[in-house]
Structure 1
Amino acid sequence: MPSYLHEALLDLFRNELSLAFSLLVDEFGIPANDLVHTRAEPCDFTDIGPKEFRGDLALSTHDARDRPVLGVCVEVQLDAKDVRRWKWPVYLTTLRARLCCPVVLLVVTPSRKVAKWAEQPIELDTFGSVIQPQVLGPDRFPLVTDSGEARRCPERAVLSAMAHGAGPHMDEVLAAFLSGLMKDLVDEALTTAASRRLEELMERTPEYRGRIATKYMAKGREEGRAEGRAETAARAVLTVLTARGLELSAAQRAQLAECTDQVQLDEWLKQAITATSANELFS
């Protein structure tokens, strides 16, 4: 199952379809003379056989006469999985056949280690035919220090905060980010010091909500309330069991701490009152 970080990164490119192309132009020097408008393409690359191939995101850009000019397969990669390098050529060739125009593989990763792995050419045969992924790693994430730019393209500001939020431009990057972006996502990539600095800037900035932040902050508040209820219920279960002299194993304590199902926690709390052993409770 894709992680929150994977889906949140992917959402940046889904929310702003021109983001992938603008980054390809800025960071990789791809010509943009004929690029007029962008649209999302189906990202299922299933062939006539039974196996299904589904990528993260497929995009196409078109000229003034609505002819496809360039296709892009956007793949968010959080770790190095060699199986992806066997599937990516399928995505590219299928999209190329569908659009009848050149295509590019854009791999997005917040990890330098994964970026180094992903940028290696993919060999197609023994005669030197290769696919060269274009890798947008943290060293290529845009640096956004202007609040106006952050408001115009909040997705760029998110990438900037993830890659540069702990660097020499910390204050400018985080202040721009606070113009209205996703703090939850960036927190996963920031160092502890940068996260603390971000909190300080948030306290001094009266308004830091934006068109992306509104959605994710509301989601974060709801998840926070749910997590708080789960933690309270888990502590209640542990308190009852301890008071009755029933000891939990390390595995059982971990199972209790990791559970977020309120129904299950309520059931455990009821059973904890009469259970004769911890094993009876968690069986």
Structure 2
Amino acid sequence: MPSYLHEGLLDLFRTNLSLAPTLLAEEFRVPLPEFAQIRTEPCDFTDVGPKEFRGDLALSTHDDRDQPVLGVCVEVQLAKEDVRRWKWPVYLTTLRSRLCCPAVLLVVTPSRTVAKWAEQPIELDTVGSVIQPLVLGPDRFPVVTDPDEARRCPELATLSAIAHGAGPHMEEVLVAFLAGLMKTDDERVKMYLDLVDDALTIAASRRLEELMKTTPEYRGRIATKYVAKGRAEGREEGRVENAAHAVLTVLTARGLELSAAQRTQLTECTDLGQLDAWLTQAVTATRTDELFS
């Protein structure tokens, strides 16, 4: 089940379709063909059998004659999952075949560990054919300190605040992020605040709240209720997600594999008390049935 962070990061790219091509050009120096428009594409990459491969987001750019010139598969990855590296080539080559034009794979992750894992070439055969994922990790998230740039692209400013809001340019990054929120609709204001607030250190989170409370412009547009409610909901979801991940990590390290039903039961559980109990049991359990009976 996709997490709040996964869906939130993905929403940045769904909301602003030009974000992925912009990052490809500016962060990876990918030469982009000239295009007049960008569209979303179906994300169901089904093969000839009954199995369905479903990606996160597929985009296509088109020239002024409405011919596809570049396809982009955008994948948000929060943890190392080897099965994804088997599926990504399916997404990419299916989109390429569908559009009859070149296609690239853009993996987005807020984790440096995951970024290092994801950026390794994917070998397709034994004679040197590979697919090279382009990985937008935290070190490649742009640093946006110009409020005008943030207003032009709030999604870019949000990525910047997630990665750099607690760094050496904290003040400028947070001020720019808030300026970008002034151009964002109410529902996304809350989502973007949640994403950034969860990523910040305690000190940076407090500074963000101070900026909203002490600046009349932000206080009027970005209601304080978003801060309080967003933090409470975001922290709770984050704790649940981390607890479930901890249970899975311990079981995996001990060589215990969950069945599909058990994995679903774990990922869909929102009871922190139950998750903590499972984590305690996972340390000594000899079978997964001992946890999920």
TM-score category, normalised to shorter length: 0.7 to 0.9
Max Rg structure: 1
Contact kept, 8 Å, 2:212 with 2:219, in 1: the verdict is: no
Q: Quote the offset at 1:90 in angstroms.
A: 0.3
How far apart, CA to CA, are the structure 1 residues paired with 2:95 and 2:227?
36
Change (3 A) 1:219 1:86: farther
Pairs within 5 Å for 1:247-262: 254-255=273-274
Q: Quote the offset at 1:17 in angstroms.
A: 0.5
Change (3 A) 1:218 1:45: farther
Contact kept, 8 Å, 1:178 with 1:205, in 2: the verdict is: no
Q: Quote the offset at 1:195 in angstroms.
A: 1.1
* Structure 2 counterpart of 1:208: 218
Contact kept, 8 Å, 1:184 with 1:220, in 2: the verdict is: no
Secondary structure of 2:145's aligned partner: coil
Look up the equivalent residue of 1:105 and give its one-letter code.
Answer: L
* Structure 1 counterpart of 2:67: 67
Q: Quote the offset at 1:256 in angstroms.
A: 11
Can you list the C-alpha shifts for 1:103-133, whole angstroms capped at 9, x where unaligned? Answer: 0000000011100000000000000000000
* Structure 1 counterpart of 2:45: 45
How far apart, CA to CA, are the structure 2 residues paired with 1:222 and 1:138?
22
Can you list the C-alpha shifts for 1:170-218, whole angstroms capped at 9, x where unaligned? Answer: 000001111215211112211222112211212122233899x79x949
* Structure 2 counterpart of 1:186: 196
Q: Quote the offset at 1:254 in angstroms.
A: 1.8
How far apart, CA to CA, are the structure 2 residues paired with 1:79 and 1:253?
21
Tell me the TM-score normalised to structure 1 length: 0.75
How far apart, CA to CA, are the structure 2 residues paired with 1:220 and 1:48?
47
Change (3 A) 1:42 1:205: same
* Structure 2 counterpart of 1:135: 135
How far apart, CA to CA, are the structure 1 residues paired with 2:11 and 2:4?
10
Change (3 A) 1:10 1:219: farther
Give the root-mean-square deviation of aligned CA atoms.
2.8
Look up the equivalent residue of 1:61 and give its one-letter code.
Answer: T
Pairs within 5 Å for 1:87-98: 87-98=87-98
Further displaced range: 33-42 or 115-124:
33-42
Tell me the TM-score normalised to structure 2 length: 0.72
Uncovered stretches (5+) of structure 2, i.e. residues with no partner: 182-188, 237-270, 278-293
- Number of corresponding residues: 230
Further displaced range: 158-167 or 181-190:
181-190
Secondary structure of 2:135's aligned partner: strand
Q: Quote the offset at 1:152 in angstroms.
A: 1.1
How far apart, CA to CA, are the structure 2 residues paired with 1:253 and 1:223?
15
Look up the equivalent residue of 1:193 and give its one-letter code.
Answer: A
Pairs within 5 Å for 1:237-252: none
1:24 is the counterpart of 2:24: yes
How far apart, CA to CA, are the structure 1 residues paired with 2:12 and 2:230?
20
How far apart, CA to CA, are the structure 2 residues paired with 1:110 and 1:178?
20
Secondary structure of 2:74's aligned partner: strand
Look up the equivalent residue of 1:188 and give its one-letter code.
Answer: D
Secondary structure of 1:127's aligned partner: coil
Pairs within 5 Å for 1:29-178: 29-178=29-178
Can you list the C-alpha shifts for 1:34-56, whole angstroms capped at 9, x where unaligned? Answer: 12211000011011211010000
Q: Quote the offset at 1:76 in angstroms.
A: 0.1
1:197 aligns with one of 207, 217, 228: 207
Look up the equivalent residue of 1:203 and give its one-letter code.
Answer: K
Uncovered stretches (5+) of structure 1, i.e. residues with no partner: 228-251, 259-283
Can you list the C-alpha shifts for 1:129-162, whole angstroms capped at 9, x where unaligned? Answer: 0000000001111111111111111000100001
Q: Quote the offset at 1:255 in angstroms.
A: 4.4
Change (3 A) 1:209 1:47: farther
Contact kept, 8 Å, 2:33 with 2:69, in 1: the verdict is: no
Can you list the C-alpha shifts for 1:225-279, whole angstroms capped at 9, x where unaligned? Answer: xx8xxxxxxxxxxxxxxxxxxxxxxxx9924999xxxxxxxxxxxxxxxxxxxxx
Contact kept, 8 Å, 2:194 with 2:231, in 1: the verdict is: no
Quote the sequence identity (%): 73
